[in-house]
Amino acid sequence: MSTQLTPEILGALEQQAVEVPSWAYGNSGTRFKVFGTPGTPRDTFEKIADAAEVNRHTGLAPTVALHIPWDLVDDFSALRAHAEDLGVRLGTINSNTFQDDDYKFGALTHEDAAIRRKAIDHHLQCIDVMDETGSRDLKIWLAEGSNYPGQADMRGRQDRLQESLQEIYARLSADQRLVLEYKFFEPAFYHTDVPDWGTSYAQVVSLGDRAMVCLDTGHHAPGTNIEFIVMQLLRLGRLGSFDFNSRFYADDDLIVGAADPFQLFRILVEVVRGGGLNNPDVAFMLDQCHNVEEKIPGQIRSVLNVQEMTARALLLDREALAGAQRAGDVLGANAVMMDAFYTDVRPALAEWRESRGLPADPMAAYAASGYQQRINADRVGGDQAGWGA
């Protein structure tokens, strides 16, 4: 069924923002091959230009996350001005301690104090970048752990991680935050140093009020009740950000909502229930790599999927749901959820976008804009951006 959206729902959607990642516009692939495509950005300035196209067509993506050192530039004030000229801002700064040879056996958890020092200094450099870009959040994901029982002292690594994070956290300014991401496995297969929300929570809660947990929707074992984790982190006041994507088996970084739209709906139901929607303390961000699909349309589709499932979550009749729950009406409660999920909000959102001067169909509008053809023709020569650049 389709529906009209109330002024209250439209008001909430008006405020919604989803940060897009700079690396989504570069080349990516599998463990076997990184694929090149025409029009791929050759530097961070071109990545920002592509991200601005997503915002121009959707009105949903006003900020762009950067990855350091992939997005290092000589003049971050010039990059910041470039972004603002295109109608977007620079957002979260993501560190990288998973590509240097020194980090083969860990970075912030490494046995060698010199390697830990290198990893800490990298994060301090990221905070310097934040100072220049006006970014609030430093997001840390650690590809650290072990492959075999006995290979590493798991408790010692937790202690060293806390010591490293303490030094990084101490360097933040009063209006900056540290956000610690978790992932249950890969590239470590026996144990991962930050494998779950509980470990991330235990680490950040020891740091202070400006340390939060990042929930990547693809970083869980199959069958995990992710919306329960969302509820719990919101309840504890420690859900700092989302990395929205999908996975079918393991961490695939696919378009959010592609694998399980109902899961995305359920997550957003808990976001609304817990006060996380349009809450400045809970950042919405995409973390995706477009391997076979076009990159800019892939990001457009992603932010629209988040918007559509948010609208459905806002349509949930919470009074009827609460009544059914109090009455022990199992099927009635489930029916209330399913009614909201099955509501087709796309026509109402298209009409609303037109009322705001946005295209009713952003995907079609981008295809007709000629932007992809222009960058395919203009971005010839030089090295295309991709993993590691």
Taking only the tens place, the pLDDT of each residue in 280-310 is: 999 999 999 888 899 999 999 999 999 999 9
Contact 246, 252 (CB under 8 A): yes
- pLDDT for 35 equals 82
The label of the residue with tokens 């076997």 reads: 32
* Per-residue pLDDT tens digits for 196-214: 999 999 999 999 999 999 9
Between 382 and 156, the higher pLDDT residue: 156
Over 90: is that where the pLDDT of 268 sits? yes
φ, ψ for residue 164, nearest 5 deg:
-65, -45
Mean pLDDT value across residues 86-102: 97
Over 90: is that where the pLDDT of 328 sits? yes
pLDDT category of residue 36 using cuts at 50, 70 and 90: confident
Listed range (27-31, 279-283, 355-359) with the worst mean pLDDT: 27-31
Cα–Cα distance between 212 and 237 in angstroms, integer? 8
Over 90: is that where the pLDDT of 327 sits? yes
Contact 177, 136 (CB under 8 A): yes
Mean pLDDT value across residues 116-137: 98
Mark residue 302 as left, alpha or beta (left: phi above 0; alpha: psi -120 to 50; beta: remaining): alpha
The label of the residue with tokens 């109608």 reads: 87
79-82: long-range contacts, CB 8 A cutoff, minimum separation 24: 79/44, 79/45, 79/48, 79/133, 80/132, 80/133, 80/134, 82/45, 82/48
Over 60: is that where the pLDDT of 169 sits? yes
Answer positive or negative: Cα dihedral of 62, 68, 72, 75.
Answer: positive
pLDDT category of residue 141 using cuts at 50, 70 and 90: very high
Listed range (22-26, 119-123, 239-243, 291-295) with the worst mean pLDDT: 291-295
Mean pLDDT value across residues 31-40: 85
Over 70: is that where the pLDDT of 145 sits? yes
Contact 29, 291 (CB under 8 A): yes
Q: What is the pTM of this model?
A: 0.96
Over 80: is that where the pLDDT of 387 sits? no
Listed range (52-66, 244-258, 261-275, 312-326) with the worst mean pLDDT: 244-258
- pLDDT for 118 equals 98
* Per-residue pLDDT tens digits for 307-320: 999 999 999 999 99
pLDDT category of residue 2 using cuts at 50, 70 and 90: low
> Which residues on neighbouring strands pair with residue 139, listed in sequence order?
94, 179
pLDDT category of residue 130 using cuts at 50, 70 and 90: very high
Contact 333, 316 (CB under 8 A): no
Helix (H, G, I), strand (E, B) or coil at 137: strand
Q: Which domains are seen in the chain, by residue range?
A: 15-316+360-378 (3.20.20.150)
pLDDT category of residue 69 using cuts at 50, 70 and 90: very high
- pLDDT for 292 equals 87
| Structure tokens, 184 | 């249950």
Cα–Cα distance between 225 and 262 in angstroms, integer? 12
Over 60: is that where the pLDDT of 1 sits? no
Count other Cβ atoms within 10 Å, centred on residue 229: 22
> What does pLDDT average to over the chain?
96
pLDDT category of residue 389 using cuts at 50, 70 and 90: low
Over 90: is that where the pLDDT of 16 sits? yes
pLDDT category of residue 3 using cuts at 50, 70 and 90: confident
Mean pLDDT value across residues 95-114: 97
Over 60: is that where the pLDDT of 182 sits? yes
